[in-house]
């Protein structure tokens, strides 16, 4: 058995997401780019690339990773490109997207020869968290003023509009896309491509995929543009678990199982957004599952099991792919989880492990 903790990517659970993406691409004409900011675990890129059109990135390193490990089309976005990055970025990119008119003014000449775009901020979003809301007051993410957009019109041929966040409501998506058509349609019709970003939870159970395909095709036809989507969570939702082991059980009025992992170090977004992990909920034996760091709030959440836990028992924490492996860290020097893949035939292989040498190398 592989030593815990480790992330286990199950291709049989990843495949349905890929098939839905392929179906949406076929029916709508939209292209789908994997959002590397959410998931960059390249040992499964060879499996995913048959169903997707390429990658979209938020930094130079993500861009290079997409170009080298995924291949196909590469979209290069950054909130701020640096002088020492821009030439290398252009060398890897099929399309480069600038966050502001100022960045376009500064680096536009460097990007001649590849497709160039600008981030458009529609000033609304579906985010329920201020921390993640690109339309928050004084947002630095993209241009919204039509006069400034028109100043870029002869230098760009596309825009990226990222305004959805875990949006599983098709009606809301369609209504907000209608607002974009109304507010920016005349400008969009002068372009060749429009990326609608990520955050559309179209691989979720019961999502009306055919309606989404029809809506995207109608938008594409009306604007005369190639539509792109940037699925992150939608690509890998429910595909991966974090496998952990029980190290200790404490009864302080509530039974607490301490495991060989950490929410802060290994599932950081749950701590940031004050959410609980997807833990087993079958049975009558209740435990709080807690991490092993010194942070008092290092708690995954409450779970239920069909029998009492014992030291050494293993627990699977579900839906552990998005924003986990890209954010794992060395807090408390806790061993980073390895990365394992379960193939379609059921065999499991460990593709990456981390040890003391990695800890030392990260810090000096």
Question: Which residues participate in the annotated binding site for substrate?
Answer: 233, 269
DSSP string across 103-141? HHHHHGGGGTTSEEEEEB--S----S-GGG-TTSTT--S
Burial 135-157 (b: 16+ CB within 10 A, else e): beeeeebbbbeeeebeebeebbb
Beta strands 240-251 and 255-259: pairing type?
antiparallel
> How far apart are alpha carbons 261 and 300 in whole angstroms?
10
Residues ≥6 apart with Cβ < 8 Å to 356: none
Beta strands 31-35 and 255-259: pairing type?
unpaired
Q: Is the CB of residue 201 less than 8 Å from the CB of residue 234?
A: yes
Name the one residue in this structure whose structure tokens are 């989507």.
229
Q: What are phi and psi of 80, to 5 degrees?
A: -155, 105
Binding site residue list: 233, 269
Provide the β-strand partners of residue 315: 244
DSSP string across 140-182? -SSB--HHHHHHTTTT-SEEE----SSB--HHHHHHHHHHHHH
Cα Dmax for the chain: 67
> How far apart are alpha carbons 348 and 311 in whole angstroms?
24
């Amino acid at each position: 058995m592989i030593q815990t903790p480790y992330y286990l990517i199950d291709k049989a659970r990843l495949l349905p997401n890929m098939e839905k993406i392929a179906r949406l691409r076929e029916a709508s004409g939209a292209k789908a780019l994997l959002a590397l900011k959410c998931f960059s675990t390249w040992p499964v890129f060879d499996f995913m690339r048959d169903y997707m059109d390429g990658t979209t990135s938020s930094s130079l390193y993500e861009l290079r990773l997409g170009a080298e490990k995924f291949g196909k089309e590469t979209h290069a976005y950054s909130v701020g490109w640096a002088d020492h990055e821009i030439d290398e970025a252009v060398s890897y990119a099929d399309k480069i997207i600038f966050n502001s008119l100022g960045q376009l003014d500064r680096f536009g000449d460097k990007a001649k020869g590849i497709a160039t775009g600008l981030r458009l901020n529609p000033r609304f979003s579906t985010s329920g968290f201020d921390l993640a809301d690109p339309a928050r007051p004084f947002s630095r993410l993209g241009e919204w003023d039509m006069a400034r957009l028109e100043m870029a019109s002869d230098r760009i041929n596309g825009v990226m509009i990222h305004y959805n966040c875990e949006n599983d409501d098709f009606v809301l998506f369609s209504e907000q896309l209608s607002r974009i058509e109304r507010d920016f349609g005349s400008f969009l019709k002068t372009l060749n491509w429009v990326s609608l970003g990520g955050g559309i939870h179209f691989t979720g159970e019961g999502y009306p995929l055919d309606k989404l395909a029809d809506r995207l095709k109608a938008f594409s036809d009306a604007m005369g543009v190639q539509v792109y989507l940037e699925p992150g969570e939608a690509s890998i939702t429910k595909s991966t678990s974090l496998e952990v082991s029980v190290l200790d059980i404490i009864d302080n009025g509530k039974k607490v199982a301490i495991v060989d992992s950490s929410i802060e170090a290994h599932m950081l977004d749950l701590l940031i957004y004050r959410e609980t992990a997807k833990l087993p909920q079958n049975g009558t034996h209740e435990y709080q599952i807690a991490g092993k760091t010194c942070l008092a709030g290092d708690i995954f959440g409450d779970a239920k099991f069909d029998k009492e836990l014992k030291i050494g028992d293993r627990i699977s924490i579900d839906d552990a792919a998005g924003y986990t492996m890209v954010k794992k860290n060395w807090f408390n020097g806790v061993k980073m989880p390895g990365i394992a893949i379960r193939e379609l035939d059921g065999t499991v292989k460990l593709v990456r492990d981390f040890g003391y040498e990695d800890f030392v190398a990260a810090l000096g």
